[in-house]
């Protein structure tokens, strides 16, 4: 039997796409350009050096790195010696990183120089290798890895911790087998369709759920890969897209908003893009329409760290001519990738129909859905082989997913579930509101009631009462937040999502006593 | 762990592409049209009926069928009860079929009425079910299969015998796992790219190496599927392509030649085709160019029954503008699909370089390459996990495969290997020759020498000596066949290839004593 190992992809690229490039940028300037032949050789030397340093099969080798070529090399080199690449999230605090490094019991850490301060809390005896000169020396001196150790497709290749919005971060270990199948799924004609024709720009952090799996997919397909380096700004991204004729890029909607503004202001040439893939939160119609007007097709993918992460895609076999209907479909979370299965269930675990109305918790299973957390934490999230996603969703008769809410973001008001996301969407329809979050606060009569924290659009002058009055015209009375609090900006998590956990803590004292709704 | 089972695809199609169609034709007339919801229900009933008939996990259920919807239903229904679908080649003789049915120890056979006479030689106690009314009754009466038996991805789903050009037919058993990964490979953007947008016409017989894997790929992708029924003529195929707006079709070059002639004569509309995939033998430049002039992109795939069967594809990431170079590339056997590995080796098993010149036996391995024949026959064809293909090939610096010959078709002349295929290609360049085969015949001085058996083009009047004299202008002297024998037609194997085994037997007596070359 052939074991399914993701470490084969770099060898495939060397043999079958030797002339395709890996390109590195730093602060908008090209600093490196080599081909897959060189990548494969460097990976083999790096693997040999790691082995000589004493890294053994099963060891965790952590990275605290931006998206650069050495991070890409480690993606293959660490699993090649049978070890596990543990990607650390550089947006976490030193304290959180210390917890995660300790929990994973990492053997060594490769870190970018400007991020080393985040390792202040880790145990001092842990080896920290600078990802720059020190790693380059390892590559230069490394003996090419001869015979790699025997590995099974069930061995872990990568380990990544969730961002921990629901408690302590949990480890998600990816076996080769799941990542291998996820890579094939990413290259399906009906999926992201990553191919040898593509030039891929890695904007999604490679520490975040395998960079959405695109580094492996691009390597397997023999696509050109461009790495933007540390702290990429939207100006740098626009410049790189134009200069490298990038065809495929994925990013969070917030980044796409800023990039769009830059592109429109500077007139950057983005005509090479065949796919702008958005993920992490639902993009607005405005955002989709504006990119389409630039000639860039927009897709949405939905996934989770626990799903490697891709689960859905919004590619439409027969896109409608009507732009409104097209945008509506792109704003759903799309249809399920082949290989996966899903269902929505009510509180008692009973399956709900695909009618676009019935909302329940989304369960997912399949070859690249992990079936346990690292070291077996939170076993209640896995039921009979299904992952409980914690997302509340509907599935339409057309098989399109719509995430309605996180289970923990639902507000229980007078025995009824209120969707914070639905109230947020209604508030965002107000032209004066730029950003908003709705959380539940304790209420003595109704148990819980919604509270909105909003950011005004530049130049808007409406007060909280006026905004609330306007909203009352558009939503059922019982949806109306007890209060709208105006703030300058919303707090964000390490992956750019609104940090509702922090908002809930901040406004926990805002107990209300009378239901104005 | 999620087992990789091909029986999931029909359920996926039902849930995610309920309105896409399966369409059946008979003699050019539409006889049936249903959707994937119906397909899934019929498959479940058929599986239930098979179970009630006593079919148990591991049993072989044979089919002797044309490409029709009941054959497609059996593709999923038989593996769904844990049994093995054994596809019988309807172009074999009754004697050969009796041997294969006996060897596989089939439990029952589903046969088309017009093919039942081919079962005269099988043991009488074997149950034969008519694929028409009798099967329809089973579907109608079948209880929906409740809980399918537990199955492993290593269980066989399909069994198919090689056409036996090198001895007795050998069984090739396909486990679910290999077929599942093969299905993903068929849907890759860089592969056949079968997608939900496609309407697929099944011209490749479904008894021949899983119909190239397209029935599973189309079902997984949710493509519409069209089945042409018994004895399809090129006139029927052209009519179906036009009427159903077929986008994807695969066939042997000989069928594509006849279809082209019909399309040009009748002016059929083939503008819907996005891919005409040729396989089985190398297409001529003329054939590729003529289809391209009709606006139909032509691809070539190379594979083998033992590889499920797809191994290569000629999709070009950056097709050259120059048509001659484009056609040259399409006439190679293409580049290797992701997931597989190959090498070419000399007689001592040493790996040869990818230089486009060094020719050696092609070895292939990967997740959908079988690692043994059914019941363990011919173990010498499998070495250290590699399949010895029996094909002699070169691999270019660009990774493109060129099949030079079959090892058994090489002619050993005076200690040098002569390629029968190279001599055939040289002869086909003569405008008077329509078809040709070159075989080796014994020679007392040179050990073996080539003999050519040729078919003249309509209206051509050249004699054998004249053809030989012309060839002498174009090839090395020692390539020149001892003799060119003119015949009315070449014998064909059951899958349409030139039957060299028969020619070798027929001309075995033609011992030559003097090397004219």
DSSP states along A215-279: HHHHHHHT-EEEE-BSS--HHHHHHHHHHHT--EEEE-HHHHHHHHHHHHHHT---TT-SEEEE-
CA–CA min distance A408, chain B (Å): 28
For residue B217, report the phi and psi dihedrals to the nearest 5 degrees: -65, -45
List chain B domain ranges: 18-331, 336-407, 414-506
Taking alpha carbons only, the member of A351, A312, A366, A358 closest to residue A335 is A312
Distance from CA of A441 to the nearest CA of B (A): 39
Q: What pLDDT, on a 0 to 100 scale, did the predictor assign at position A309?
A: 97
Nearest CA distance, B476 vs chain A (angstrom): 34
Does A197 sit within 8 Å of B193, measured CB to CB?
A: no
CB distance B434 to B457 below 8 Å = yes
Whether the CB of B363 is below 8 Å from some CB of chain A: the reply is no
Q: Which of B16, B194, B365 sits opposite A336 (nearest CB)?
A: B16
Unique residue bearing structure tokens 């085709």: B273
CA–CA separation, B82 vs B149, rounded Å?
7
Closest CA to B197 of A331, A344, A426, A188: A188
- Predicted confidence at residue A513, as pLDDT, reads 52
Cβ of A184 within 8 Å of Cβ of B185? The answer is yes
Eight-state DSSP code of residue B492? B
Is 50 exceeded by the pLDDT of residue A102? yes
- Cβ contact, residue pair A194, B189, below 8 Å: yes
The top-level CATH class assigned to B18-331 is alpha beta
B422 touches chain A (CB under 8 A): no
B353 touching A (Cβ < 8 Å): no
Q: How far apart are CA A337 and CA B12, in angstroms?
A: 10
Contact B219, B13 (CB under 8 A): yes
pLDDT single digits (tens) A199-255: 999 999 999 999 999 999 999 999 999 999 999 999 999 999 999 999 999 999 989
Q: Which residues of B touch A181 (CB under 8 A)?
A: 4, 181, 184
Told to judge if A291 belongs to the known catalytic residues of this protein, a careful annotator would answer no
Q: Which helix (H) or strand (E) holds A503?
A: helix A500-506
Does residue A359 have a pLDDT over 80? yes
* Alpha helix (H) residue ranges in A22-93: 36-52, 69-80
A417 in active site: yes
Kindly determine whether residue A189 and residue B194, on different chains, have CB atoms separated by under 8 Å: yes
Q: What is the DSSP string of B286-321?
A: HHHHHHHHTT--EEE--B-GGGSSB-EE---SS--S
CA neighbor of A296 nearest in space, from A281, A313, A275, A314: A275
Greatest alpha-carbon pair distance for chain A in Å reads 73
- Give the mean pLDDT of chain A: 92
Give me the mean pLDDT over the A328-332 stretch: 93
Total residue length of chain A: 517
Task: Give me the mean pLDDT over the A128-135 stretch.
Answer: 94
Q: Which residues on A lie below 8 Å from B339 (Cβ)? A: 184
Of A1, A318, A366, nearest to B197 by CB-CB distance is: A318
Three-state DSSP class for residue A86: strand
Which residue of chain A has the CA closest to B184? A184
Across residues A419-445, what is the average pLDDT?
88
Tell me how far apart the alpha carbons of residues A154 and A148 are, in angstroms, rounded to a whole number: 16
Q: Which pLDDT score, from 0 to 100, does residue B167 have?
A: 66
pLDDT of residue B514: 47
Q: Tell me the pLDDT of chain B (517 aa) as tens digits.
A: 899 999 999 999 999 999 999 999 999 999 999 999 999 999 999 999 999 999 999 999 999 999 999 999 999 999 999 999 999 999 888 998 999 999 999 999 999 999 999 999 998 889 899 999 999 999 998 888 877 788 999 999 999 998 755 568 899 999 999 999 999 999 999 999 999 999 999 999 999 999 999 999 999 999 999 999 999 999 999 999 999 999 999 999 989 999 999 999 999 999 999 999 999 888 999 999 999 999 999 999 999 999 999 999 999 999 999 999 999 999 999 999 999 999 999 988 999 999 999 999 999 999 999 999 999 988 999 999 999 999 999 999 999 999 987 777 778 777 677 888 888 888 988 999 989 999 988 888 888 889 999 999 989 999 999 999 999 988 888 889 989 999 999 998 776 778 888 898 888 776 565 444 3
Say if pTM beats, i.e. exceeds, 0.80: yes
More confident residue, A445 or A8: A8
Closest residue of B to A186, CA-based? B188
Burial state string for A176-197 with b = 16 or more CB within 10 A and e = fewer than 16: bbbbbbbbbbbbbbbbbbbbbb
First and final C-alpha spacing in chain A: 64
Q: What tokens were used for B203?
A: 């011209």
Contacts of residue B189 in chain A, CB cutoff 8 Å? 187-189, 193-195, 221
Asked whether B21 and B111 are in contact (CB, 8 A), the reply is no
Architecture in CATH of A337-407: Roll (2.30)
Between β-strands B360-365 and B341-345, what pairing exists: parallel, antiparallel or unpaired? antiparallel
Alpha helices (runs of H) in B305-403, residue ranges in sequence order:
323-331
Interface probe with A: pick from B192, B317, B353, B372, most Cβ of A within 10 Å: B317
A43: closest CA among A62, A15, A71? Answer: A71
Q: What is the pLDDT of residues A440-452, one digit of tens each?
A: 888 888 888 899 9
What amino acid positions of B are annotated as catalytic residues? 162, 306, 412, 417
Taking only the tens place, the pLDDT of each residue in A10-21 is 999 999 999 999
Q: Is the CB of B189 less than 8 angstroms away from the CB of A185?
A: no
What is the reported pLDDT for B185?
A: 98
CA B40 to centroid of chain Cα atoms: 27
Same fold: B18-331 with B414-506:
no
Chains A, B: CB contacts under 8 A, how many?
92
Which of chain A's residues have a Cβ under 8 Å away from the Cβ of B12? 338, 341
Closest CA to A219 of A10, A8, A4: A10
SS3 B395: strand
pLDDT of residue B485: 94
Instruction: Let me know: does B336 contact B342? Beta carbons within 8 Å.
Output: yes
A167 pLDDT higher than 70: no
pLDDT in tens, A253-302: 989 999 999 999 999 999 999 999 999 888 999 999 999 999 999 999 99
Name chain B contacts of A184, Cβ cutoff 8 Å. 181, 184-185, 188, 338-339
Instruction: Say if the Cβ atoms of B189 and A189 lie within 8 Å.
Output: yes
At A146, the pLDDT band (50, 70, 90 cuts) reads confident
Q: Which of A185, A196, A369 sits opposite B190 (nearest CB)?
A: A196
Q: How many CA atoms lie within 13 A of B173 on its CB side?
A: 22
Q: Which residue of B has its CA nearest to A188?
A: B188
**Which chain B residue's Cα is nearest to A7?**
B339
Give the nearest chain B residue to A11 (CA atoms). B341
ipTM: 0.87
The pLDDT, as a whole number, for residue A37 is: 96
Looking at the complex, report in whole angstroms how far the Cα of residue A121 sits from the nearest Cα belonging to chain B: 36
User: What CA–CA distances, in Å, run from B54 to A302, B61, B364?
Assistant: 44, 11, 38
The answer for A 371-400 residues in CB contact with B (under 8 A) is 371, 385, 399
Per the CB < 8 A criterion, the answer to whether B391 and B403 are in contact is yes
CB contact under 8 A, B399 and A16: yes
Closest by Cα among B346, B342, B275, B335 to B302: B335
CA atoms within 13 A on the CB side of A326: 15
Q: Which of these is catalytic: A417, A478, A497, A510?
A: A417
State whether A189 and B184 contact (CB < 8 Å): no
Chain position carrying tokens 């939160």:
A281
Contacts of A221 in chain B (CB under 8 A): 189-190, 338
Q: Is B16 on the interface with A (CB under 8 A)?
A: yes
Q: Are B190 and A181 inside 8 Å of each other by CB?
A: no
- Among candidate residues A41, A144, A407, A412, the one labeled active-site is A412
Q: Is the dihedral of CA B228, B234, B238, B239 positive or negative?
A: negative
Q: What confidence score (pLDDT) does residue B138 get?
A: 93
What confidence tier does A514 reach under pLDDT thresholds 50, 70, 90? very low
Report residue A452: phi and psi, to 5°. Answer: -105, 135
Nearest-CA distance B52 → chain A (Å):
29
- Integer CA distances (angstroms), B209 to B161, B307, B375, B386, B414, in order: 8, 9, 18, 19, 38
Which pLDDT belongs to residue A52? Answer: 93
Q: Over pLDDT 90: what percentage of chain A? A: 77
Please report the pLDDT score of residue A517 as a whole number. Answer: 36
Q: Is B387 helix (H, G, I), strand (E, B) or coil?
A: strand
Res. A496 pLDDT band, cuts 50 70 90: confident
List B residues 141-200 in contact with A (Cβ-Cβ < 8 A).
154, 181, 184-185, 187-190, 193-197
Q: Are strands B447-456 and A360-365 parallel, antiparallel or unpaired?
A: unpaired
Q: Which fold has domain A8-331?
A: Rossmann fold (3.40.50)
Rounded CA separation B61/B105 (Å): 9
Interface contact flag, A221 B366, Cβ < 8 Å? no
Rounded to a whole number of angstroms, the distance from the CA of B21 to the nearest CA of chain A is 14
Catalytic residue among A244, A306, A424, A448: A306
A221 vs B: CB within 8 A: yes
Search chain A and give the residue with CA nearest B224: A317
Q: Extract the tokens encoding A344.
A: 């929505």
Q: Which residue of A has its CA nearest to B364?
A: A2
CB contact, 8 Å: B338 with chain A? yes
User: Does B16 contact A399 at a Cβ distance shorter than 8 Å?
Assistant: yes
Which of the following CATH numbers is that of domain A414-506: 3.40.50.300, 3.10.20.30, 3.20.20.100, 3.30.300.30?
3.30.300.30
Does domain B336-407 correspond to CATH entry 2.20.28.90?
A: no
């Amino acid at each position: 039997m052939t074991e399914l190992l993701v470490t084969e992809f770099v060898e495939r690229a060397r043999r079958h796409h030797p002339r395709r490039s890996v390109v590195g940028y730093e602060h908008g300037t090209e600093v490196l350009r080599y081909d897959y032949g060189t990548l494969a050789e460097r990976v083999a030397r790096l693997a040999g050096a790691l082995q000589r340093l004493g890294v053994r099969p099963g060891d965790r080798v952590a990275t605290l790195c931006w998206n650069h070529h050495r991070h890409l090399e480690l993606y293959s080199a660490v699993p090649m010696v049978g070890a596990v690449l543990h990607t650390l999230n550089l947006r976490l605090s030193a304290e959180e990183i210390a917890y995660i490094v300790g929990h994973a019991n990492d053997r060594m850490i490769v870190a970018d120089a400007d991020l080393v301060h985040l390792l202040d809390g880790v145990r001092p005896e842990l080896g920290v290798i600078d990802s720059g000169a020190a790693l380059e020396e390892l590559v230069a001196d490394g003996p090419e890895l001869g015979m790699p150790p025997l590995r099974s497709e069930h061995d872990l290749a990568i380990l990544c911790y969730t961002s921990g919005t629901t408690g302590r971060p949990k480890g998600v270990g990816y076996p080769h087998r799941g990542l291998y199948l996820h890579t094939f799924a990413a290259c399906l004609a009906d999926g992201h369709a990553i191919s040898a024709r593509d030039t891929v720009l890695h904007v999604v952090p490679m520490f975040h759920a395998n960079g959405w799996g695109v580094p492996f997919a691009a390597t397997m397909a023999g696509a050109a890969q461009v790495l933007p380096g540390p702290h990429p700004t939207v100006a740098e991204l626009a410049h790189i897209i134009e200069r490298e004729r990038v065809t495929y890029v994925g990013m969070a909607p917030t980044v796409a908003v800023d990039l769009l503004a830059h592109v429109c202001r500077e007139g950057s040439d983005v005509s090479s893009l065949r796919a702008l893939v958005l993920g992490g939160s639902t993009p607005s119609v405005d955002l989709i329409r504006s990119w389409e007007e630039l000639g860039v097709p927009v897709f949405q993918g939905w996934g989770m760290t626990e799903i490697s992460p891709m689960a859905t895609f919004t590619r439409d076999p027969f896109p409608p001519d009507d732009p409104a209907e097209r945008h509506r479909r792109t704003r759903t979370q799309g249809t399920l990738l082949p290989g996966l299965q899903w269902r929505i269930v009510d509180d008692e675990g009973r399956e709900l129909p695909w009618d676009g109305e019935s909302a329940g918790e989304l369960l997912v299973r399949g070859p690249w859905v992990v079936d346990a957390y690292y070291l077996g934490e939170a076993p209640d999230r896995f039921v009979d082989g299904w992952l409980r996603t914690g997302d509340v969703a509907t599935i339409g008769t057309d098989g399109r997913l719509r995430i309605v809410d996180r289970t923990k973001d639902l507000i229980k008001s007078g025995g009824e579930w209120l969707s914070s996301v639905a109230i947020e969407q209604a508030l965002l329809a107000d032209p004066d509101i730029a950003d908003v979050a709705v959380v539940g606060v304790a209420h003595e009569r109704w148990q819980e009631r919604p509270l909105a924290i909003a950011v005004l659009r530049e130049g808007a002058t409406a007060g909280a009462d006026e905004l609330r009055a306007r909203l009352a015209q558009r939503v059922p009375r019982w949806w109306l937040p007890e209060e709208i609090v105006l703030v300058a900006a919303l707090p964000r998590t390490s992956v750019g999502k609104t940090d509702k956990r922090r908002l809930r803590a901040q406004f926990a004292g805002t107990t209300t006593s009378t239901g104005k709704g």
